[in-house]
Structure 1
Amino acid sequence: MKHIAAIHVLKGLLKLQDDDYRALLNNLVGKTSSKAMTTAELSKVRTHMDGLAKRMGVQTPAPKGAVAAKERPQVRKLKAMWWALADVGAVERPADAAACTQAVEAWAKRQSTGSKVGRIDALRFADSLQLNKLIEEMKACGDRVGAPTL
């Protein structure tokens, strides 16, 4: 997202009145209009306003290209593998997709207690490397119970 657009979104999220917003800009960079600022000044204002939003607990705009955990290919793969394990009776069959998600989350959290994967409180916090290690762990589990190739 471009700096000016992000600054105006943050202004709305922070519920700043126009006078307060312009005073903030003046205090930070000595200008009262975002259009008159350089890229460095815009970046400084955006960083400051992001910090304010985080301290106030306001949700900031997601970076462009951010993908939710439920959409990540590795998470979808883990869920598909869980269903395959359920088909051979290695794990309890989930009642629905939400139950499958909950089961995979719980399994991932248990797996993360070891040093192989690293601590994971929820799949949405896992990075790609951790998710790939979880996939390998689930493949090994599938091999042990005779599940079809995962």
Structure 2
Amino acid sequence: MGERVVTVLPELRRRRAAPVDPKVALMRAIMAACKRQGVDNETRRAAQKRITGKNSMTDMTVAELIRLRDHFNRGWNGPKSQRPHVGKIRALWWSLYWIGAIERVDDEALNAFVKRQAHIQHINFLDHRGAMPVIEGLKAWLEREGVMWWSAEQLAGVVATGAMTSAGTPFSQAEADRHAVLSQLAARLDDAGLMNRLALYSWIGNAVGRPTLNQWTFSASELDQALRALGKKYRAHLAKEQRL
């Protein structure tokens, strides 16, 4: 056998990556911002036309694209958990659902309400100031449904007792608001023959695994757990009624 000949190929030169067109990079950043904030294509195009006067991003200058990018990033202040007004709005919206006042809790329905109240296309674009008319509108709606929000005097009365929640925090407006919604939900369940409203807090204690004689010690998290459980119970009742 002849000697094996090994041919060594010359090392291929690495090609340098072509520089990214700044307009392409900006368009990608805009699309990413829209995706992150839940802005659909129709809303994005409307914003493009309003801000730059142009329908297509490909027709825009770099300066116009920067302006558009900054617009879509302006409403983003970090994760929703760091934006308490967004959480507040969603909690009130869900409260309307649990008591049977609305049928949809998806973002499309919520954003339609946000647009009517604040003239903002999407909840994620709301800052604290813009959130106020939305929050007040939702609380007024819940009040029309029978929710009795606590007065400042009622809240001060409980706070004056030194009440502490199981989370180790003083009783506050956050807990008071949840108690108000739970009271209305219990009343509706009582009217439907599904529970005794006077036994609400006994029921909550058993549901969260912490029976107590002091209802003011329930934390916001425990009250949320109770809202979901009782809300599902009431929604199931409403669904059954509709089938009859």
TM-score (structure 1 length as normaliser) = 0.47
Q: Which has the higher contact order (CA 8 A, sep 6+)?
A: 1
- Radius of gyration: which is bigger? 2
TM-score by length of 2: 0.31
